[in-house]
């Protein structure tokens, strides 16, 4: 049992766990003590002096942010002396502040403005010349205006403590003190922009957002990031059907306020000039624009034709389309086209893990588990580069709870900064190295194992057997690449499995061709690619195949297509994604993109044109069907509706599939790459760190 401490704040009796800071004890009692430098989860500073409070028997005002609640303590947070002190601090802050609020990006959501509004100090007694320095561009994405800076050091701490990057520091001294970047005049960092959003004032501003709009002119739409598999909530600022910025200052998702460079800046692919705005049909060897009716009619006619003559149709689904779309695609393929040659680019061996954990529940770790587990083991993955939010969670766990981290990787990774043990191994020898840690791991109370694509097929079973041998509770995360990689597997975009990892035999089907076999089949009659770019890496053997591609851009695959259908992006639709940890979250539509349709809509149009019945092309209806039919997806709808994350829980017996480790291959994207989407993000490509590489530490 936690020891509790009773104290009085503004006449209210408050009971808090021993060790609680007065600023948080007050918060628990509904009393807000203002602060700039105090920031939940980061190191204490006591620099801004805004949280000064009166404490009975103390000779002077004390900072509530460093004061530990003591039994019987009597605290007053809004006495005349306190208010007067806060007003004085604000007056001090404003003396050398440029007061350029009318042209400041932060205007309207500036904590300094808010505080002055609350405490006054509206009259200036400062007649002297202000200390001034010119604004600096730290990177294409990060600008720094020192005169606006109030030196709360939040940016320095989030970069160092939060990310482990340490790209920002404090230089010079006294009134000339400034925040400085790590490469002389510029930054070399993750470009995550955490420093920008954590800045209480307009000192750090976004190269993408600055001077574009006033905050109150935007609508704010909370949806799920379109890029990696971590499933971060990103709140899009939308004005006139354009996304102006992305952040998560409201800490609404499982990621709190965390976003990486992709989540915060990488949304700009949606407005890339090469974005497809109209269907294209190949005529005389060239793709020419047609209208949707013509394109859909053509596809329906050819599909019907090929189906009628018993032709071979291959279907390749996406790591980025919604669960609803993936579910419908496999349903369309299997029921309408009568084909089981369906697959997607598999970036981690989720299937093997589900099989190895057959019959267990609670053996898949959630993102929340990563913040709470006492010990974790990372195998063959550069988390900071590939799984930035998972890396952030583990690091926060280490900072706040002393997580004991083990890392077995082929090269240096950032987690080694704090790992209790890090082992370098040659590719292919990961498990042997892991098994060498058995004695140490047995001493841990619990463990979460995160593994990359090097652990697949039989090795996954060996890993789970190893986990069982430790004699402690072990949970697993099979690392995958993209926003709905996990959902693609869950929804049965596989030649041998139906949604929920049920064998195709249950539906009376034979195992179909996997992705490489589809591409290599010389007699393939049709290829339908939805949100994927398989021809970037491998040729299509069948020269005669009728190729239909649904995508945002004219990818290598789309260029080979006979019909290209412009698809909507994740930010232009509703539906659900399942993240790397199996947590289901809802997308909310932020904008409309003229000319594009969601993949689900396209399936609906095609079905209607083919006079086939796949159910309504409505995400809510499809999700209801998924909840009813897919094991593990019967999650509580209110959780999703409220913007929460609902963990899926696959419950099944063994998954009788043939192990095909050669099909598992991560794209090895770095922080600054994101498959097709990354290629069309000007922000991601603008920074000097791009494209980056893995295992640089």
Task: Give residues in contact with another protein (CB under 8 A).
Answer: 44-49, 52, 59-61, 66, 85, 88-89, 91-93, 95-96, 125-129, 131, 150-151, 166-177, 180-184
What is the DSSP secondary-structure string of 633-669?
----HHHHHTT--EE-----S-------GGGB-----
Whole-number Å distance between alpha carbons of 653 and 484: 24
C-beta closer to another protein: residue 178 or 429: 178
What is the DSSP secondary-structure string of 32-85?
PPP-SS--TTS-----S-TTEEEETT-SS-EETTTPBP-TT-EEESS-HHHHHH
Whole-number Å distance between alpha carbons of 521 and 231: 35
Smallest gap from residue 182 Cβ to another protein (A): 4
Residue 657 structure tokens:
């599939």
C-beta closer to another protein: residue 96 or 230: 96
Smallest gap from residue 597 Cβ to another protein (A): 49
The closest of 644, 318, 343 to 515, measured between CA atoms, is 343
Note whether 413 and 407 are within 8 A (CB).
yes
Smallest gap from residue 350 Cβ to another protein (A): 39
Smallest gap from residue 477 Cβ to another protein (A): 31
Neighbours of 419 (CB within 10 A): 22
Smallest gap from residue 70 Cβ to another protein (A): 12
Smallest gap from residue 125 Cβ to another protein (A): 6
Smallest gap from residue 39 Cβ to another protein (A): 15
C-beta closer to another protein: residue 99 or 507: 99
Establish whether the linkage from the previous residue to 484 is cis, with ω within 30° of 0.
no
Whole-number Å distance between alpha carbons of 282 and 311: 21
Whole-number Å distance between alpha carbons of 479 and 211: 38
Q: Are strands 404-409 and 421-424 parallel, antiparallel or unpaired?
A: parallel
Smallest gap from residue 402 Cβ to another protein (A): 16
Note whether 261 and 688 are within 8 A (CB).
no
Q: What percent helix, strand, coil does the chain show, rounded to 5?
A: 35, 20, 45
Smallest gap from residue 251 Cβ to another protein (A): 26
Which residues sit opposite 68 in a β-bridge?
A: 21
């Amino acid at each position: 049992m936690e020891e509790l401490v009773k104290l009085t704040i503004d006449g209210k009796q408050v009971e808090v766990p021993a060790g609680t800071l007065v600023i948080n004890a007050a918060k628990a009692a509904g009393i807000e003590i203002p602060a700039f430098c105090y920031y939940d989860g980061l190191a204490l500073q006591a620099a801004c002096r805004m949280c000064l409070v009166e404490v009975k028997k103390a000779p002077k005002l004390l900072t509530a942010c460093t004061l530990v609640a003591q039994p019987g303590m009597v605290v007053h947070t809004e006495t005349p002396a306190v208010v007067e002190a806060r007003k004085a601090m604000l007056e001090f802050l404003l003396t050398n502040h440029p007061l350029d609020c009318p042209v400041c990006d932060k205007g309207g959501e500036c904590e300094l403005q808010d505080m002055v509004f609350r405490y006054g100090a509206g009259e200036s007694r400062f007649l002297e010349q202000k200390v001034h320095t010119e604004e600096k561009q730290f990177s294409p994405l990060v600008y720094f205006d020192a005169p606006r800076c109030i030196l709360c050091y939040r940016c320095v701490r989030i970069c160092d403590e939060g990310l482990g990057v340490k790209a920002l520091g404090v230089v010079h001294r006294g009134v000339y003190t400034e925040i400085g970047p790590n490469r002389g005049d510029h930054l070399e960092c993750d470009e995550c922009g955490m420093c920008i959003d954590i800045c209480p004032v307009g000192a750090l501003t976004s190269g993408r957002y600055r001077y574009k709009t006033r905050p109150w002119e935007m609508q704010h739409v909370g949806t799920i990031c379109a890029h990696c598999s971590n499933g971060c909530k990103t709140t899009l600022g939308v004005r006139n059907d354009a996304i102006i910025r992305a952040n998560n200052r409201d800490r609404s998702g499982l990621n709190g306020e965390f976003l990486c460079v992709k989540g915060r800046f990488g949304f700009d692919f949606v407005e890339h000039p090469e974005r497809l705005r109209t269907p294209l049909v190949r005529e005389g060897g060239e793709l020419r624009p047609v209208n949707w009716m013509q394109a859909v009619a053509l596809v329906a006619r050819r599909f019907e034709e090929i189906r009628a003559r018993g032709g071979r149709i291959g279907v390749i689904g996406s790591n980025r389309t919604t669960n609803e779309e993936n579910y419908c695609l496999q349903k369309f393929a299997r029921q309408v086209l009568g084909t089981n040659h369906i697959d997607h680019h598999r970036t981690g061996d989720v299937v093997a893990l589900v099989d190895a954990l057959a019959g267990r529940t609670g053996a898949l770790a959630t993102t929340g588990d990563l913040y709470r587990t006492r010990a974790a083991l990372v195998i063959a993955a550069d988390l900071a580069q590939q799984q930035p939010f998972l890396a952030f969670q583990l690091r926060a766990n280490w900072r706040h709870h002393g997580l004991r981290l083990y890392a077995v990787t082929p090269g240096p990774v950032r987690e080694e900064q704090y790992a209790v043990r890090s082992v370098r191994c040659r590719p292919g020898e990961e498990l042997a190295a892991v098994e060498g840690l058995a004695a140490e791991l047995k001493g841990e109370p619990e463990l979460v194992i995160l593994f990359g694509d090097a652990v697949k097929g039989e090795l996954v079973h060996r890993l789970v057997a190893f986990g069982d041998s430790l004699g402690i509770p072990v949970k697993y995360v099979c690392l995958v690449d993209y926003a709905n990689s996990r959902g693609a597997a869950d929804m049965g975009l596989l030649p041998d499995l139906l949604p929920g990892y049920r064998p195709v035999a249950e539906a009376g089907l034979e195992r179909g061709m996997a992705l490489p076999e589809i591409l290599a089949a010389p007699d393939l009659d049709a290829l339908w690619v939805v949100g994927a770019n398989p021809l970037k890496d491998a040729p299509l053997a069948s020269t005669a195949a009728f190729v239909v591609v649904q995508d945002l851009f004219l990818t290598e695959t789309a260029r080979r297509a006979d019909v290209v259908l412009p698809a909507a992006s994740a930010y232009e639709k509703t539906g659900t994604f399942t993240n790397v940890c199996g947590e289901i979250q809802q997308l909310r539509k932020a904008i409309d993109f003229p000319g594009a349709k969601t993949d689900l809509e396209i399936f609906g149009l095609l079905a209607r044109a083919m006079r086939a019945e796949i159910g309504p092309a409505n995400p809510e209806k499809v999700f209801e069907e998924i909840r009813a039919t897919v094991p593990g997806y019967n999650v509580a709808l209110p959780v999703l509706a409220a913007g929460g994350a609902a963990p899926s829980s696959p419950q099944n017996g063994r998954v009788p599939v043939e192990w095909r480790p050669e099909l598992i291959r991560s794209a090895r994207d770095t922080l600054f790459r994101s498959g097709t989407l990354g290629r069309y993000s000007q922000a991601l490509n603008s920074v000097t760190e791009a494209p980056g590489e893995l295992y640089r530490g």
